[in-house]
Structure formats: C-alpha cells, structure tokens
C-alpha cells in the first residue's frame, strides 16, 4: 500500500486523514491483459496501482489509440463516470499483472461531501491531471515526433522499458517505423 499512500499524500493530504480512506479500499490482483475499464460503460470504481502498469486507449478507424500510461502510484478512473455519472470513452488495460486498490466512487464522493480536506484533495487531483493533459496537448501541437519521444524518455523511463513499442508509437501519434527511425537516430 506504500505506493498508493505516497500518491495520496503527494497531493497535499495530511496523514491524519488517511484513516477515513484506508478501510474503504479493496485490494485486488489482476492478470496482464485484463480490461479494467471499458468504453461505453458506467464505471463505479477508482483504482490505485500499487504494482503494475496500464494504458488507456480509444478505438478510432479500427485502431487502438493509446493516450495515457500509468504505473505504480497512479490512479485509474473514468472521468465521465466519476464526475458526470456517465459512461466513459476510454478503455484501460493492464499491461502487466497488477496489484490494485479499488475504491467505490460513492465512498470517494462521500468523503468529498463530508470532509473539506478530502474535497481539497479531489480538487488537487483534478488540477494535477488537467496540467498533465494541457502539457501533453501543447507538446502534440508544437513539438516534433522526435522531441516528443525525447520528452517521453526523460519523463517516463520506467514505462519506456516496460511497454510494447507499438503502444508507445500510438501514444506519440506516429507509426512504429517512424519510432524505430527516431530511436536509431538517438542512439
């Protein structure tokens, strides 16, 4: 539970508030390839990755387009389901056998509604994710594929070593051939 607690505390929560959350968690172990969240479905849980790695993707024109990777201490959720109570657009697949902590949306929403510190934690989580999304969007608009790959190498070296190149190429919005060329240039 160490990775999960680190992530929660990193967003500004005081340790004294953890006892309100920890009893609500359910520890689960799932195999590589498990589809944790499926598009077009209303998801009722938030997941914290204790051990493992995952990717979020959508289908477009018969292809899987990866738009996010998560590893230890990251949070897996469907934003539409959590915030709007609507089916999500994303699929989240486990790329390695994983240990996760599962938390019902209702329990998290209850904490937000009854405890100001937890409500602020939720706001900080949303702000943090929004900033990451903005940085990703700006990079895709103004940087070359090579620059995006170099940024990915610096920011996510652990993911680079643990994920198929096809998923990384999809995430960067390039073909595997282009990714191979970029990797050859950098070596």
Full set of structural domains in the chain with CATH: 2-114 (2.60.120.10)
Tell the burial category of 98 from Cβ atoms under 10 Å away from its Cβ (0-12, 13-18, 19+).
Answer: buried
pLDDT digits (tens, 9 = 90+) for 53-92: 999 999 999 899 999 999 999 999 999 998 899 999 999 9
Asked whether residue 187 carries a pLDDT value surpassing 90, the answer given is no
- Taking alpha carbons only, the member of 74, 103, 71, 78 closest to residue 92 is 78
- Give the N- to C-terminal CA distance of the chain in Å, as an integer: 37
12-30 per-position pLDDT tens digit: 999 999 999 999 999 999 9
- What pLDDT sits at residue 136? 87
Alpha carbon of residue 9 to chain centroid: 17
- C-alpha 121/C-alpha 105 separation (Å) is 15
pTM: 0.91
Residues β-bridged to residue 63? 60
Q: Is the pLDDT of residue 7 over 90?
A: no
Angle CA 127–162–8, to nearest 5: 30
Angle at alpha carbon of residue 99, lines to 73 and 13, rounded to 5°: 30
Is pLDDT above 90 for 180?
yes
Percent pLDDT > 70 in the chain is: 100
**Among 32, 176, 167, residue whose Cα is nearest residue 96:** 32
Q: Which residues pair with 136 in a beta bridge?
A: none
């Amino acid at each position: 539970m160490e990775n999960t607690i680190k992530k929660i505390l990193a967003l500004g929560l005081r340790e004294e508030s953890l006892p309100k959350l920890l009893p609500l968690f359910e520890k689960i172990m799932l195999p590589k390839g498990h589809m944790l969240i499926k598009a077009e479905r209303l998801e009722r849980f938030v997941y914290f990755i204790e051990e493992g790695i995952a990717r979020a993707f959508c289908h477009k024109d018969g292809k899987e387009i990866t738009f996010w990777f998560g590893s230890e201490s990251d949070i897996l959720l469907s934003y539409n389901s959590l915030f709007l109570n609507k089916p999500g657009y994303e699929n989240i697949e486990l790329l390695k056998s994983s240990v996760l902590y599962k938390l019902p949306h209702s329990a998290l929403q209850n904490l937000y509604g009854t405890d100001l510190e937890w409500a602020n934690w939720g706001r900080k989580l949303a702000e943090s994710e929004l900033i990451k999304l903005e940085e990703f969007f700006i990079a895709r608009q103004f940087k070359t594929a090579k620059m995006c790959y170099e940024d990915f190498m610096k920011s996510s070296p652990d993911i680079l070593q643990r994920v198929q190149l096809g998923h990384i190429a999809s995430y960067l919005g390039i073909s595997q051939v282009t990714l191979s060329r970029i990797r050859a240039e950098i070596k």
